[in-house]
Amino acid sequence: MSSATASAALLKRQLKEMRTSIPGISCGLHDDDIYDWEEYPLMPPKMKFETPIWHPNIYENGTVCISILHPPEEDKYGYESAAERWLPVHTPETILLSVISMLSSPNDESPANIDAAKQWREDPAGFKKRARKCVRDTLEA
């Protein structure tokens, strides 16, 4: 089996596992291209919410900011060790589980959205109200 065939088989298996083993997650491929993640698994995939979301670890443009999605190198700011960042052992399933965990337990010490992090710390009720509004607005769109 060629390495291309083996990698395609691995990605297809991981996609199938995600579709069946993680409740509430919908996933698929862009244009049915199993290699849409061109540098996976050596570099982390990019993950972005396509609808507005109010969260300390999500940039205003929707890009997710968690350690395991940062490139595998030393953090120039000294906040994260290389071991906390991307490793090729991560699978799409472990990434999604990390994002699910981040959604309920934000890291407000290293926020991507400073205003959301401040509100998370200082006004939890207001934070929840604004986050729920994002969900309602998305559902109504």
- Does the residue 132 lie in any domain? yes
pLDDT value of position 44: 84
- Does the residue 32 lie in any domain? no
Q: What is the pLDDT along the chain (141 residues), one digit of tens a residue?
A: 666 688 788 878 877 777 777 665 566 677 777 766 457 667 888 888 989 999 999 999 999 999 999 998 888 877 888 888 998 888 888 888 999 999 999 998 889 999 999 999 999 999 999 999 999 998 887
- Does the residue 23 lie in any domain? no
- Number of structural domains (the chain) is 1
Three-state secondary structure call for residue 63: strand
pLDDT value of position 106: 94
- Does the residue 99 lie in any domain? yes
CATH of the domain at 83: 3.10.110.10
Is 134 one of the annotated active-site residues of the chain? Answer: no
Among 117, 100, 128, residue whose Cα is nearest residue 56: 117
pLDDT value of position 3: 67
Q: Which of 65, 69, 99, 112 is catalytic?
A: 65
Write out the residue range of the structural domain in which residue 76 sits.
Answer: 42-140
CB distance 112 to 57 below 8 Å = yes
- Does the residue 9 lie in any domain? no
Rounded distance between C-alpha atoms, residue 141 and residue 108, angstroms? 29
- Does the residue 2 lie in any domain? no
pLDDT value of position 132: 95
- Does the residue 57 lie in any domain? yes
- Does the residue 84 lie in any domain? yes
For 32: left if phi > 0, alpha if psi spans -120 to 50, otherwise beta; the answer is left
